[in-house]
Amino acid sequence: MTNEKEFNWDYAPAPEAKDHAKIKKQYDLFINGKWVKPTGKKYFDTINPATEEKLSEVALANEKDVDLAVSAAKNTYDKVWKKMPAKERAKYIFRIARMMQERSRELAVIESLDGGKPIRESKDFDIPTAANHFFYYAGWADKLDYAFPNRKPNSLGVAAQIIPWNFPLLMAAWKIAPALATGNTVVLKPAESTPLTALKLAEIVQDCDLPPGVVNIITGFGNTGAAMVNHPNVNKIAFTGSTDVGKIIQKAIAGTTKKITLELGGKAANIVFNDAPINQAVEGIVNGIFFNQGHVCCAGSRLFVQEGVANEVIQKLKARMETLIVGDPLDKNTDIGAINSKEQLQKINEYLKIGVEEGLELHQNSCSIPTKGFFCKPTLFIGASQSNRVVQEEIFGPVLTIQTFRTIEEVIEKANNIPYGLSAGVWTDKGSKIFNLTSKLRAGVIWANTYNKFDPASPFGGYKESGFGREGGLHGLLPYLKFQDH
């Protein structure tokens, strides 16, 4: 038998249908249970990053609109929500969860259209996990006394919540679900580049007959967020986004009684030891850095490989990267979609230049990328050092730096030698080594022999410049509560 010509199997396009997804031409602000025009009468475009085509335009909320939203939230808090029995509150949250499941297909398609992430991820990860968050926190609503025995938990009032563009609907769920479960009302602002699923969530809130003003969703840029943060009737601020903005927010609320949680940047170490299950580690490295185009605050962006297996890991990683399909986010076979915005692509490209100038070996997929839209090939920087800028700074794109190490002490020191501390990964067959590392790595979440695993029941949050406060799990209730013993 002879080997005939090579069999090349290019998977035929398998696009997800999008005609069922209803996107209005224009979205107003969702305040007090109604769609209201922005007082400034201004709107801004939201585009599809994979085609650069306009999807819709959304209202730009100014200070006056923010005041309307916060006032509505406060009014409802005082008159309705605070007084409602917890088990009634829970019913509304359950209703949101179920409605999200019912509309999951539409939500997934819109999430991919507006944000550029592959439909496989929005369908299998973002939307179901978001719905699970509502389910999970709905369950806590009438059990708070048992969650914190003998401490009499009370709600805070109005929560101003500002969320990022990397997991738009999921982050909205992370913020809204625990706030409602603990009896607070919210004003939420999605990121300017990905407002659509949050606005769809507003429609769901409306359909669920939530008392008007419990959930208010307003859109805008940084100024809108600043007005929310500075509003005197806001009692709690929850922000997920860049460390720079996080610092500004913290300064702005100095001297007030506003409670705050910040979930900021990261630059996680993903550590592979000689005794690791190498093939599965390679898979974990790929999931760690290329999930959602690397737009993940807990992305495993710094790979540490023990020198005994470094060559093998790099060789296999390169081969695995070749099987990644980069392109149309709505194709069911796409592994890596579009970069979220032009600005983000520019920032990533800037870092690619810096890495090359720093003398690192750059390796990219041999695939071609679409000429229209914002795309970036999966990238490795081989032979990186602790002092390289691409190792020290958060890139927030599909770019992995690879460093080698010799001993366990060395890798712990290097992994911790960074201003961030959100997450880390450890790959080894030896359980004792895992427990040794997890107790010494300064990171809020550490995964062993896996990466990027999320569950509503598990708290998430960072050390150092990655922020403070925890979201998810029982711990995620705390930032939205005050106790009488305080």
**Interface with another protein (CB under 8 A), residue from 157, 225, 284, 469:** 284
Query: Least distance in Å: CB of 279 to another protein?
Result: 5
**Interface with another protein (CB under 8 A), residue from 145, 207, 429, 455:** 429
Which token pair is 181? 């479960």
Of 192, 263, 394, 465, the catalytic one is 263
The answer to whether residue 332 forms part of the interface with another protein (CB under 8 A) is: yes
**Interface with another protein (CB under 8 A), residue from 250, 333, 416, 436:** 333
Judged by CB, which is closer to another protein: 235, or 270? 270
SS3 content of the chain, % helix, strand, coil (to 5): 40, 20, 40
**Interface with another protein (CB under 8 A), residue from 196, 204, 226, 276:** 276
Q: What angle do CA 31, 193, 472 make, to 5 degrees?
A: 70
Give the interface segment with another protein, choosing from 27-35, 149-157, 162-170, 273-281 (CB under 8 A).
273-281
Which token pair is 204? 């769901």
Give the interface segment with another protein, choosing from 8-16, 194-202, 389-397, 417-425 (CB under 8 A).
8-16
Strand pairing class (302-306; 269-272): parallel
277 exposure class (CB count in 10 Å sphere: 0-12, 13-18, 19+): middle
Query: Least distance in Å: CB of 278 to another protein?
Result: 6
For 368, other C-beta atoms within 10 Å of its C-beta total: 10
Please give the full DSSP string across 144-212, using - where no structure is assigned: HHHHSTTS-EEE-SEEEEE--SSSHHHHHHHHHHHHHHTT-EEEEE--TT--HHHHHHHHHHHHTTPPT
Of 297, 298, 376, 471, the catalytic one is 297
The answer to whether residue 17 forms part of the interface with another protein (CB under 8 A) is: no
Give the interface segment with another protein, choosing from 5-13, 148-156, 389-397, 476-484 (CB under 8 A).
5-13
CA count, 13 A, side-chain hemisphere, 93: 31
Query: Which DSSP state fits 371?
Result: S
Residues 357-416 that bind another protein (CB under 8 A): none
The answer to whether residue 101 forms part of the interface with another protein (CB under 8 A) is: no
376: annotated active-site residue: no
Give the interface segment with another protein, choosing from 91-99, 101-109, 275-283, 356-364 (CB under 8 A).
275-283
What residues have CB less than 8 Å from 150, skipping those under 6 apart? none
Judged by CB, which is closer to another protein: 3, or 484? 3
**Interface with another protein (CB under 8 A), residue from 139, 153, 211, 277:** 277
Tell me how far apart the alpha carbons of residues 456 and 228 are, in angstroms, rounded to a whole number: 27
Yes or no: say if 370 and 50 are a contact pair by the CB < 8 Å rule.
Answer: yes
What residues have CB less than 8 Å from 29, skipping those under 6 apart? 35, 36, 37, 38, 59, 61, 65, 69, 216, 217, 218, 219
# binding residues, another protein (CB under 8 A): 32
Residues 297-316 that bind another protein (CB under 8 A): 312, 315
Query: Least distance in Å: CB of 14 to another protein?
Result: 4
The angle that helices 168-181 and 127-140 make with each other, rounded to 10 degrees, is: 10
Choose among 483, 473, 116, 178: nearest CA to 329.
116
Judged by CB, which is closer to another protein: 10, or 19? 10
**Interface with another protein (CB under 8 A), residue from 67, 449, 454, 475:** 449
Give the interface segment with another protein, choosing from 149-157, 278-286, 388-396, 439-447 (CB under 8 A).
278-286
Q: What is the enclosing helix (H) or strand (E) of 105?
A: helix 104-115
Query: Least distance in Å: CB of 271 to another protein?
Result: 15
Give the interface segment with another protein, choosing from 168-176, 241-249, 281-289, 373-381 (CB under 8 A).
281-289
Which token pair is 403? 């460093």
Q: What angle do CA 294, 300, 305 make, to 5 degrees?
A: 135
Query: Least distance in Å: CB of 118 to another protein?
Result: 10
Query: Least distance in Å: CB of 85 to another protein?
Result: 42
The residues facing 19 across adjacent strands are none
**Interface with another protein (CB under 8 A), residue from 26, 280, 346, 368:** 280
Gyration radius of the chain's alpha carbons: 23
Judged by CB, which is closer to another protein: 315, or 346? 315
Active site residues: 263, 297
Residues forming contacts to another protein in the complex (CB under 8 A) are: 1-4, 6-14, 120, 124, 275-281, 283-284, 312, 315, 323, 332-333, 429, 449-450
